[in-house]
Amino acid sequence: MRSTMMDYPLTLVRFLERAGRYFPDTEIVSRMPDKSLHRESYGDFYRRARALAAALTRAGLKKGDRVATLMWNHYAHLEAYFGVPVSAGVLHTLNLRLHPQEIAYIVNHAEDRFLIVDDILLPLYEQFRSQVNFERVIVVRLTGNPTPDGFDDYEKFIAPGGDAFTYPTIDEKDPLGMCYTSGTTGKPLGVVYSHRSTVLHAMNVGLADAIGTPSGTTYLTLVPMFHVNAWGAPYINTALGIKQVFPGPYYDAESILDLMEREQVGLAAGVPTLWMGVLQALEREPKRWRLLPGLTLVVGGSAAPEAMMRAFDRLGITLLHAWGMTETSPMGTVSRLKPKLEKLGEDQRYAIRVKQGLPALLVELRVMANDKEVPPDDQTMGEIEVRGPFISGGYYKTAPSPEKFSPDGWLRTGDIAVVDAEGYVKIVDRSKDVIKSGGEWISSLDLENFLMGHPAVAEAAVIAVPHPKWDERPLAVIVLKPGQSATPEQLAEFLRPKVPKWWLPDAYVFTDAIPRGSTGKFLKSRLRDLYGKGAPSAAGKAG
Ligand code: AMP
């Protein structure tokens, strides 16, 4: 017997058509370089995305050709998010925070054919222009400046429109987009998403038990659109007719809060370092901003500190913790309390909410040590492995290595975690960051989390430093809040009741800022370069 269901492909065309047909009045708001707000209706967005698809097709784009973007988050990037895939092209979002040399490597590796670039990013493009070979470079004029010679003007490029455009036949397994991993350990690796994986992932993000975007909510897309598809938000938000707000090039706390207030944002997503800045601004002037009651901030990309979650709660803002990676589209887990856990005491609820959570629907997850699943005892550590319809099974033009993929086809994430009896996963470290002291593992994330709970500490990052007897010992790098002070002894006293004695950092380094990587996460590799041989003389010892 066969099912009677239609063999109907899961493609982005449906998402775009739904947005254009049913939500033409919904708004897309973008912050421009001059700080003004650009407003576009979904109706215009729909016409312009199709006009872009038609223009690319006229320019000779063939199925599977890569169209790169070097853009901030705004309306034109959203048009590319849809216009490129529905023309059967592959959207390759370039991370504008990478070194120009690295961008050139990625462009050449992906064999990108066209580039769409913001005018304000042309100086960046010029830095790698001689090393790449785009057939056409299309410039989005966010400022009033004219398009320089030798480039296509985006508005002129799409001006003929797309009314007569017919979608090419797209198979759901056809590629839709690609992103490169941040490549902190070796060359960046290309992950290629399909229409099917993107549709399934986006629908999953929209579930109430995952991120959930109720209609009527306004969504501020802070995750850079070059960072794993802005975590899938542009796709699902568009399909659901959600009002979308984009920050353009402005990521300072003031600009973010201003957008949240003006547009009455209900949901936003970003990395912890971003939210830390927002929290500090709110705590400085709690009465200044009139934010929407019930504002929810999705936090992921690195671990959400418990102190930050509690502090936001006190302001009536909810943090929702999620985990993922470029290879997982990215949503792998989300930490929402099961209904029966809502009854737990406050501390227990926080202990679960700060975990990375339960696997997303359709994601299979296991935590492995010595080729066996670890027991769900919340303390045995192992590496997270995942598989599912939106998990990458390899890398573009790269042979799969056993370090990255298990013989039975699971993605080895490199994240070390424990799992509890309810199935909640808690990441204790990246495998390359975990501190191996005397044959036992110390979680740098746990130490950071506790240290950031100290009232004087704004930011903390913990790294391993070599030790003659114990192999490695923890060193904490601390940024104090303005006007606050704390000594190594006071920090050690604060940690002492919370962690085993042998976890206490051997040294503390006080600094003005912790270096951040291209997606805003703490850059531990840089800290290891700076302090990996031990603390400089200005540092203090304690423990
Ligand atoms: P990327 O591919 O650049 O998004 O980086 C993915 C990595 O970021 C993961 O493998 C984790 O190490 C880390 N990561 C992402 N989300 C979280 C989280 N919620 N908690 C801890 N680490 C995270």
Rounded distance, CA 219 to CA 236, Å? Answer: 11
Say which of 173, 397, 436, 533 is annotated catalytic.
436
Q: Which of 362, 407, 404 is nearest to 384 (CA)?
A: 404
Q: What's the gap in Å between 26 CA and the centre of ligand 1? A: 32
Distance of CA 30 to the CA centre of its chain: 19
Say which of 11, 69, 181, 218 is annotated catalytic.
181
- Diameter of the chain by CA atoms? 76
Q: Which residues on neighbouring strands pair with residue 194, listed in sequence order?
A: 175
**DSSP labels for 278-292?**
HHHHHHHSTTT--PP
Helix (H, G, I), strand (E, B) or coil at 362: coil
Instruction: Please give the pLDDT value at position 540.
Output: 60
Rg (CA), the chain: 23
Rounded distance, CA 189 to CA 162, Å? Answer: 34
452 and 480 in contact (C-beta within 8 Å)? no
Q: Which residues on neighbouring strands pair with residue 541, listed in sequence order?
A: 507
Instruction: Please give the pLDDT value at position 109.
Output: 98
Q: What's the gap in Å between 323 CA and the centre of ligand 1? A: 6
Q: Is 297 exposed, middle or buried (0-12, 13-18, 19+ CB in 10 A)?
A: buried
Rounded distance, CA 417 to CA 381, Å? Answer: 5
Crossing angle, helix 12-22 and helix 42-58, to 10 degrees? 140
295 and 325 in contact (C-beta within 8 Å)? no
First vs last C-alpha separation in the chain: 69
Per-residue pLDDT of the chain (543 residues; tens, 9 = 90+): 999 999 999 999 999 999 999 999 999 999 999 999 999 999 999 999 999 999 999 999 999 999 999 999 999 999 999 999 999 999 999 999 999 999 999 999 999 999 999 999 999 999 999 999 999 999 999 998 999 999 999 999 999 999 999 999 999 999 999 999 976 557 899 999 999 999 999 999 999 999 998 889 999 999 999 999 999 999 999 999 999 999 999 999 999 999 999 999 999 999 998 999 999 999 999 899 999 999 999 999 999 999 999 999 999 999 999 999 999 999 999 999 999 999 999 999 999 999 999 999 999 999 999 999 999 999 999 999 999 999 999 999 999 888 899 999 999 999 999 999 999 999 998 888 889 888 788 999 999 999 999 999 999 999 999 998 888 999 999 999 999 999 999 999 999 999 989 999 999 999 999 998 888 888 888 999 999 876 664 456 554
Q: Which residues on neighbouring strands pair with residue 374, listed in sequence order?
A: none
Q: Which residues on neighbouring strands pair with residue 246, listed in sequence order?
A: 30
Rounded distance, CA 192 to CA 270, Å? Answer: 23
Q: Where are the beta strands (DSSP E) in 144-275?
A: 152-153, 175-180, 190-194, 218-221, 243-246, 267-270
User: What is the atom index within ligand 1 of the atom nearest the CA of 333?
Assistant: 19
Does ligand 1 lie within 6 Å of residue 240's CB atom?
A: no
Residue 217 annotated to the active site: no
278 and 250 in contact (C-beta within 8 Å)? no
Does ligand 1 lie within 6 Å of residue 229's CB atom?
A: no
Which of 189, 274, 395, 415 best tests ligand 1's pocket when mutated (most atoms within 8 Å of CB)? 415
216 contacts: CB under 8 Å, gap ≥ 6: none
Task: Map tokens 């209904």 to a residue.
Answer: 339
DSSP symbol at 393: S
Rounded distance, CA 452 to CA 476, Å? Answer: 11
DSSP symbol at 324: E
Q: Three-state SS string across 62-116, please?
A: CCCCEEEEECCECHHHHHHHHHHHHCCCEEEECCCCCCHHHHHHHHHHHCCCEEE
332 and 389 in contact (C-beta within 8 Å)? no
Angle CA 533–538–540, to nearest 5: 80
What b/e sequence results for 420-449 when a residue is b if at least 16 CB atoms lie within 10 Å of its CB, and e otherwise?
A: eeeebbbbbbbeebbbebeeebbbbbbbbb
Dihedral over Cα of 189, 105, 88, 28: its sign: positive
Instruction: Please give the pLDDT value at position 538.
Output: 43
> Would you state the structure tokens that stand for residue 303, as one six-digit string?
């671990």
Q: Which domains does the chain have, with CATH numbers?
A: 12-250 (3.40.50.12780), 361-430 (2.30.38.10), 435-541 (3.30.300.30)
pTM beyond 0.85, yes or no: yes
For the beta carbon of residue 366, count every other beta carbon within 10 angstroms: 18
Helix (H, G, I), strand (E, B) or coil at 323: strand
Does ligand 1 lie within 6 Å of residue 323's CB atom?
A: yes
Does ligand 1 lie within 6 Å of residue 190's CB atom?
A: no
H or E element that contains 418: strand 411-419
178 and 90 in contact (C-beta within 8 Å)? yes
247 and 255 in contact (C-beta within 8 Å)? yes
24 and 43 in contact (C-beta within 8 Å)? yes
Residue 187 annotated to the active site: no
Strands 382-387 and 411-419: antiparallel
Rounded distance, CA 536 to CA 122, Å? Answer: 40
Say which of 17, 184, 441, 498 is annotated catalytic.
441
Instruction: Please give the pLDDT value at position 400.
Output: 83
Q: Specify the amino acid at residue 497.
A: P
Instruction: Please give the pLDDT value at position 239.
Output: 98
